[in-house]
Amino acid sequence: MSLAIQAEKIEKSVGSGSSRIQILNATSVSIDSGETVAILGRSGAGKTTLLSLLAGLDQPSAGRILLDGHALNGLDEEQRAKVRAGRVGFVFQSFQLLSGFTALENVRLSAELAGLSDARERAISALKDVELGHRLEHLPRQLSGGEKQRIALARAFVARPAILFADEPTGNLDAATGAHIVELMFALNAQHGTTLVLVTHDEALAARCQRQLRLRDGQLVNA
């Protein structure tokens, strides 16, 4: 089985001099293709920082990262964006939809950025997969929190990315809606065989993943 993500001795610190804070300290992790992994830890443990480095949203202070076979080290933001497009999907706690775009446009955007020629058809299909076929032309402000997160799921899967990063995907939802979103996410993940990297506080949700990684003092304790 090939590796979807490989991180070797990555470090991340912010600030300088006496105000320097070490967030991640010589952390290494390898995630296989198709594997589902949960990252757990207390607030401030560095979960989101680790996710942002693995997804190529930020650069480590030290160490090496391979994302779907592409070395991220030395790439500028423009080149990392190119790597992300089409290969990586995201689901965020606060949905992160473009407020001026309809549900269909939000999902189609991701397909277009991946360079898919049938972006519109795929977006409609993805929205139907998350049971929002009837909400194609609705703007985010016209939808409930659960519906917004389903649009985010459709956007994440529309380009069939190799890897899905999810940051507290149920954090802004009530329990029932959150459970529904989780079911959908795992179902789609299984359907597409996507690698899932999930950041959460929720032990029950983490337990649904094949592997759980805990961050403590900037290091993964059971990587």
Count other C-beta atoms under 10 Å from residue 169's C-beta. 27
CB of 158 to another protein, least distance (A): 11
Q: What are phi and psi of 181, to 5 degrees?
A: -65, -45
Nearer to another protein, 100 or 193 (CB): 100
CB of 78 to another protein, least distance (A): 6
Q: What are phi and psi of 190, to 5 degrees?
A: -65, -40
AA identity, residue 15: G
Q: Which residues pair with 219 in a beta bridge?
A: 216
Nearer to another protein, 112 or 129 (CB): 112
CB of 92 to another protein, least distance (A): 6
Give the Å distances, CA to CA, from 192 to 73, 133, 189, 205, 214: 28, 19, 5, 20, 26
- As given in the structure block, the two tokens for residue 218 are 């900037």
CB of 18 to another protein, least distance (A): 22
Nearer to another protein, 34 or 86 (CB): 86
- The order of strands in the sheet holding 70-71 is 21-32, 3-14, 62-67, 70-71
CB of 1 to another protein, least distance (A): 26
Interface residues toward another protein, by CB under 8 A: 48, 51-52, 57-58, 77-78, 81-86, 88, 90, 92, 94, 96, 98-101, 105, 108-110, 112-114, 155, 167
CB of 117 to another protein, least distance (A): 11
Nearer to another protein, 32 or 61 (CB): 61
CB of 43 to another protein, least distance (A): 13
Nearer to another protein, 44 or 222 (CB): 44
Q: Up-side HSE of residue 167: CA atoms within 13 Å toward CB? A: 18
- The order of strands in the sheet holding 211-216 is 88-91, 163-167, 195-199, 36-40, 211-216, 219-220
Distance separating alpha carbons of residues 182 and 34, to the nearest angstrom: 17
